[in-house]
Amino acid sequence: MAHTEWRDAPELPDFSLLKRLARDQLIFLLEQLPGKKDLFIDADLMSPLDRIANVTILKQHEVDKLYKVELKPIVSSSDQLCFLIRPRIQTVKWISDLVNADKVAGRFRRYKIIFTPQKFYACETVLEEQGVYGDVTTDEWNFYILPLDDDILSLELPEFFRDNFLEGDQRWVTTAGSALHLLQSVYGSFSKVYGIGRCAKMVYESWRELMEEGEQRTRQPEFAKVFLVDRDVDFVTPLCSQVVYEGLVDDLFRIKCGTVELGPDVTSSDKSIKVMLNSQDKVFSEIRNEHFSNVFGFLSQKAKNLQTAYDKRRGMDIQQMKAFVSDELKGLKQEHRLLSLHIGASESMMKKKTKQDFQELLKTEHSLLEGFEIRECITYIEEHINRQVSMIDSLRLLCLLSITENGLLSKDYRSLKAQYLQSYGIKHLLTFANLRQLGLLEEQQAGETLTVMESKVGKLVNDKTVGKLTDAFSSLAKKSNFRALSKRLALVPKSGEEYDLRVPRDMAYVFSGAYIPLSCKLIEQVLERDGWTGLEEVTRMLNGQEFAVTGGSSSSEARNKTDAQRIVLVMFLGGCTFSEISALRFLGKERGCRFVVVTTAITNSARLLEALLDNHA
């Protein structure tokens, strides 16, 4: 069932180098504060930090105690406090308060803030305003990229999505540019860059600036091409239920920084187990990209094979037994353990998914993607809301409905919104405002009214403002055009055709054969055409902002010869799902190339929508 690897699939570069660089820099920074010190770490930095350093290393550099940043008063007797944090105003305010409290108490300590991946002026202003600038020294730990797996690199910045797309704050643009610059300086330059989206363009520009400043290295590139894509180019894909094993595990158990915590119901013991999920796990690496329906069969076959392998040792003599133990037993036990965990996880998935009427949910999603029986879908969503089941799922279905239908009819929008607020709380008014601003959940505007209003307003105000207003109106009228795009790019296979999920024929398998992820289809098309030529209509429907640039440094004779020419870096700005990664892996196998995904964070429908909730202070 595991796909046969492309015969000469190119070797991926060794990304563990990035971890070493990050670790060395951290050690250097810790040494800047000699002597014993307590270290306070931002909660969301703990897992990433765990992946590149361990306590022993920290202790070696005189870190005494470790604390999690909780924005509460601290208990520490150390004379030196070091804070390893994301550059957030709230955290810096908390630190300023600590320093001021110490001052009041007449307590003298040294303080150091290490911002990662970079510092912001806004944070330093807080230090200045709170009167602690100078008492606190600051530094930057340029830990831009965490390799989560052989082919997944993460910036571990989930807030990128909300900050950039909802708030319109471009603070992370240079961060993404710097991450690319880092990859380039370690692994060589790229010959071609493609991209689509406003943010993608800015990131490219920011990166180009860095390129122009830095000295050009003339080394053999390890990547051929880079593709930058904004999350808001394709919202449909991350809103769909994931049915590929790794995606489903993420939807159900939430994979955090490449690790998942499986509860007692899965481990069939009384404790939870944290499991690393990556290509090192031999069982997982064979099922991660598979459609869920194939996984059970595969696992039970594996279990049978395992039994046979164990059975081999019956009737062995001492010599054979010795060989068996040293050569095979460890591997078998390892496999045994992995197998029982994944079987446990699958079982628990089955249970949860039948309980939630998962089939019905999937059916509704597929109908929406296909544009089929929309009335029935609306009724289903309405009942989902009425029954007060999962607040996020209800929202997800509403958004899918809106994007696929280019907005909801006024009557439906109002009624569904009212029912949603009744079921989940009126404060979600704020959530609806956010979703509307992002174009995720909208009321259809009558096209005519818009133009009339525009021209009326136009007469009243001066030219400059008209430009602004027109922009505002056109963003209001910004359509997702999903149906037209889907037709143009053949994203939804004709219904009624049999789709054998065991032998996927295209990337649609990641959604049970019902839909090819738009993001991945775009990547496929652009790589095939070596640019956007012929896709003009598509880019117009996606609101433009596409680009394709050829790098100056590519040596033309080396082209198409080295492995590097067949490695494509895809950077998702605003997050990427495991389903998309699986689809790209599939595409890579089909085309004899390999994709390396760089993402600001791993996302899924729940994370995406939770980032847009405004239901708490």
User: What Å distances lie between residue 319 and 283, 310, 322, 499, CA to CA?
Assistant: 29, 16, 5, 51
- Residue with Cβ nearer another protein (119 or 396): 119
- Asked, as a colleague might, if the bond just before 117 is cis with ω within 30 of 0, I would say yes
Q: Of the listed pieces 58-66, 536-544, 578-586, 604-612, which binds another protein according to CB under 8 A?
A: 58-66
The tokens 């796909």 sit on which residue?
3
What residues from 315 to 334 belong to the interface with another protein (CB under 8 A)?
321, 325-326, 329-330, 333-334
Residue 133 interacts with another protein (CB under 8 A)? yes
Stretch that binds another protein, among 55-63, 360-368, 516-524, 575-583 (CB under 8 A): 55-63
150 touches another protein by CB under 8 A: no
CB of 488 to another protein, least distance (A): 31
Q: Any idea of the CA torsion for 360, 363, 364, 369, to the nearest 10 degrees?
A: 160
* Contacts to another protein from residues 173-202, by CB under 8 A: 173-174, 178, 202
Q: What residues numbered 368-387 form the site for another protein, per CB under 8 A?
A: 382-383, 386-387
HEC string for 173-242: HHHHHHHHHHHHHHHCCCCEEEEECHHHHHHHHHHHHHHHHCCCCCCCCCCCEEEEEEHHHCCHHHHCCC
SS3 314: coil
Residue 473, CA distances (Å) to 147, 165, 476, 540 in order: 41, 18, 5, 17
What is the footprint of another protein within residues 6-25 (CB under 8 A)? 20, 23-24
At closest approach, how far in Å is the CB of 396 from another protein?
Answer: 18
Q: Draw the binding track, 551-590, toward another protein (x: CB under 8 A; -: no contact).
A: ----------------------------------------
| Interface with another protein in residues 498-557 (CB under 8 A) | none
| β-pairing verdict for 546-550 and 146-149 | unpaired
Closest CB to another protein among residues 9, 549: 549
Q: What angle do CA 314, 340, 154 make, to 5 degrees?
A: 130
Residues 36, 468, 478, 529: which binds another protein (CB under 8 A)? Answer: 468
Nearest approach, Cβ of residue 338 and another protein (Å): 8
CB under 8 A: which stretch of 147-155, 189-197, 203-211, 565-573 binds another protein? 203-211
CB closer to another protein out of 333 and 351: 333
The three state secondary structure string of 33-99 is CCCCEEEEECHHHHHHHHHHCCHHHHHHCCEEEEEECCCCCCCCCCCEEEEEECCCHHHHHHHHHHH
Tokens of 358: 């998962």
Q: How far is the CB of 401 from another protein (least distance, A)?
A: 18
Pick the closer one to another protein by CB: 56 or 560. Answer: 56
Which of 11, 14, 128, 360 is in the footprint of another protein by CB under 8 A? 128
Task: Please say whether the dihedral angle defined by the alpha carbons of residues 490, 494, 499 and 505, taken in this order, is positive or negative.
Answer: negative
Q: Which of 134, 315, 496, 552 binds another protein (CB under 8 A)?
A: 134
The answer to the question of residue 453 lying near another protein (CB under 8 A) is: no
Q: How far is the CB of 206 from another protein (least distance, A)?
A: 6
Task: Name which position in 5, 168, 496, 503 contacts another protein (CB under 8 A).
Answer: 168
| 312 interacts with another protein by CB under 8 A | no
Angle at alpha carbon of residue 156, lines to 150 and 159, rounded to 5°: 150
